[in-house]
Structure 1
Amino acid sequence: MLSAEQQVYAAERAFAKSMAERNLTAFAQHLSDDAIFFGEGVLKGKVAVIEGWKSFYQGEIAPFSWEPTLVEVLEDETLALSTGPVRDPSGKIVATFSSIWRQEQPGVWKVVFDKGCAVCHCDKKT
């Protein structure tokens, strides 16, 4: 059996795969009913998140992709955080994401909070 950390890595990768495969139904399966997503506004509840993200799933090419690079799980294995880069279609890192996952049933992790943050591509001046 996979550890809780491995389960969350797998859940996040499957979540991201839904975007690559342009599959809004698969995206929705990873959302808790009371999910909250932060972006240009706050989307509260699974229905609102699906409606707010529907446009990202239109078209043949995904507008962005993401992958987890770090997962941390509470000792009691009820909550976990996953974070990593968000890339544009060319592969350039344009943001980072942080997702809070809740284990809703044994081995079943759902996103309860998600927040992206743009990265600065500023030139460093010395």
Structure 2
Amino acid sequence: MTMLARLSSAALLALASGGVLAAPPEAARQAECAVWQRELSFAQSVADHDAAAFAEHLHPDAAFGVSQKPTRGREAITREWTPLIDGTALKLSWYPAVVTSGGDGRTAYSSGPALYEDPKTGETRIGRFGSVWYRTDEGVWQVLFDDGIAPQKADAAAVQRFHDGRKAQCPAA
């Protein structure tokens, strides 16, 4: 049997046994659900206009806007986000649609839709966010990196789909 045939046989055996397609281990599911709830809590801090709670979700060395010129550090990010947190610039809401934990037990990625509502014009836009979370030595998940996709105008049906898509419970639970 050639090396290629042996590798192909091993790959097929792994697929057939469920090794590649198996559900994540319990520890991964627990981490994903913890980050899911933490992401919801992070969004709630903005909905509640609570700058202290917002800052508590940030790693001290976090970087936001990482695909461009990032803002670095908890204090700088909180300062930059003040008009969003207090709701004067935009009403911002978001929720996770997917959370995937890293194999190290200390990192996870969350992503989902974000709704931007302009309180002055009433214009509504929908974008997406992506965040990398880090579990501290104390076991607290904090955002380490954050970025998003520029929002696009949204009609009433898109806004309704946004609201309908929010799940309070982690799908991995």
**Common fold: TM-score over 0.5:** yes
Deviations 1:13-66, CA, capped at 9 Å, x for gaps: 000000111111110000000000007742111111011111112247962100
2: CA distance between counterparts of 1:44 and 1:15? 18
Match of residue 55 from structure 2: 28
Q: For the structure 1 residues 13 and 59, does the alpha-carbon distance in structure 2 shift closer, same or farther, using more than 3 Å as the test? A: closer
Residue 88 of structure 1: which of 112, 116, 131 is its match? 116
Of 101-110 and 68-77, more deviation after overlay is shown by 101-110
The structure with more radius of gyration: 2
Q: For the structure 1 residues 59 and 72, does the alpha-carbon distance in structure 2 shift closer, same or farther, using more than 3 Å as the test? A: closer
Contact 1:20 1:62 in 2 (8 A): no
Structure with bigger helix share is 2
Contact 1:97 1:117 in 2 (8 A): yes
1:13 correspondence with 2:40: yes
1:52 correspondence with 2:52: no
Q: For the structure 1 residues 50 and 119, does the alpha-carbon distance in structure 2 shift closer, same or farther, using more than 3 Å as the test? A: closer
Task: Kindly provide the amino acid, as one letter, of the partner of residue 9 in structure 1.
Answer: W
* Identity among equivalent pairs (%): 33
2: CA distance between counterparts of 1:43 and 1:55? 15
User: Which contiguous aligned blocks of 4+ residues in structure 1 show a shift greater than 6 angstroms?
Assistant: none
Cα RMSD of the aligned pairs, angstroms, is: 2.7
Residue 73 of structure 1: which of 90, 97, 101 is its match? 101
Contact 1:7 1:107 in 2 (8 A): no
Gaps of 5+ in 2: 1-26, 154-173
Contact 2:125 2:152 in 1 (8 A): no
Residue 147 of structure 2: which of 112, 115, 118 is its match? 115
State the secondary structure of the residue aligned to 2:136: strand
Gaps of 5+ in 1: 122-126
1:64 correspondence with 2:92: yes
